[in-house]
Structure 1
Amino acid sequence: MASSYTLLANLRAGRCSNTAEVRLLRSWEARNINKGGELISVDMLFIDENSTMVQGSIPALRQLQFKNRLAEGSIYTLTGFDVVRSNPMFRLSDSTFSIHFNEGTELEKLSTTVRTIPTELFRFRTYDQLRELANTGKQLPDIMRELCQIRSTITDRIPGAQRVMLSLRLESGTVVCVSLFNSLAPAFHSKLDSYEREPKIVLVTGVNPKIVAGKLYLNGTSATRVFFDSETAVGNDAFDRQD
């Protein structure tokens, strides 16, 4: 008997035998930096036709089963997964539930669909909201603003941990610093080199707000992705307005 269709907003705790049709927005590896970068899980963000965004997680022991089938932007049917309460810390979605893959989970990529599923969704916060979240570890929001300056320990040949600092100007004129550490730093440089010019608009996902000496900093995390100018629809709108 075929399973019935369900929306992400209708998920309830327990094993879900119904089928959700979703788009994979982004995926990344969560690693334990205290254990030499040991893989904990492969995490991701799903979105459905109602713009409900839910975080998903594949345990390290099962990641080989699905890893080569994950393509960001593609649409999938997802069946036989566990629905659990979202971790109240470092949340990337407003949903109270998250999806965990188990031994019976089925993930099938679709070539076409009759449903209209958004291609992107971001959780932007105002400057005041970012300050309220700072040092709480509750949310990992997104930010998109005009790029003012790039500072880098890589290009400046400063010894020690690799780091890139992006200064972004908010609409109020306030400048905030986004820090990209470790593997995020060379990944940013590789992207910048292929872009062949300095971007005007930068969008950074999954940042962790911190206040140090009274100043707001936004630190990159394993869920952080960086987009330039017109790489996203929302970025394209901001880029056009700036021009």
Structure 2
Amino acid sequence: MANVSVLLSDSKTGRSSSTVQVRLLRFLAAMNATMIPATVNVNRLATHMPNLKSSSVYSLTVFDVTRCNQNYRLSDSALLIRFSDSNSFNEVKPAILIPLEFFWLRHNHSDMLCLANTNTQFLDLIGEITVVMSTVTDPSQDKNRVMATIKMDNDMYVTMSLFDSQAVKIHNQQETMRGNPRVVVATSVNPKMVGRTRHWAYTSISTAKVESLSIAELNNFVTTAPSQEIDFVCTGRVTGIKMEKEWCYVSCSNCDKKL
């Protein structure tokens, strides 16, 4: 029986016998490590590297799907495909048509807003820094955060959050500028809506409409929505919350993901 074609978003962890057709957007080699990040082991480079060409479309069969290491994520997906000796990896000619909007770099504010809270696509952001709030101290502590208010070209304001080493880096840059005009180019930011505030989370293809719902409507959805298969990224129990700082986090000790 022929393999069934599926979408990447439908992948589940474990060995898959399905076939997916994908476009290679970018090929990144790890110069100081033994792996190309989260994809091809060094022992299989000679097998797969000659076939890797940017913008090409491939048919990939018999692949392993596993959880993405939170410290080395190259996309917003929680899963990654791991190449193995059993892979069938062939270029598709002529290439299938993948809609152009899937690769559209959205710089317009309204286009960014429709992706808020979807966790489906990282964006690029260009704007002027108007206000900076920082918890970075000298010397810097383990937990650092910077919140910068960004004015975009259409006079819309968004808030960009940076954490840990990125927060320290941008804090030090702002200190050296001392109020001079500051334009920021941020890549791979994750758009969020916190209440009615536009919030861009600085990180590490459907669209969704942001709506305001009442608690009663949310409760009704939980009780009446069709049952779904639950797939936990990680589980744990909150044993305590420290209130010394203005912001609080819940962080997993295994994947380091913050909530």
TM-score normalised by length of structure 1: 0.45
* Structure richer in strand, relative to its length: 1
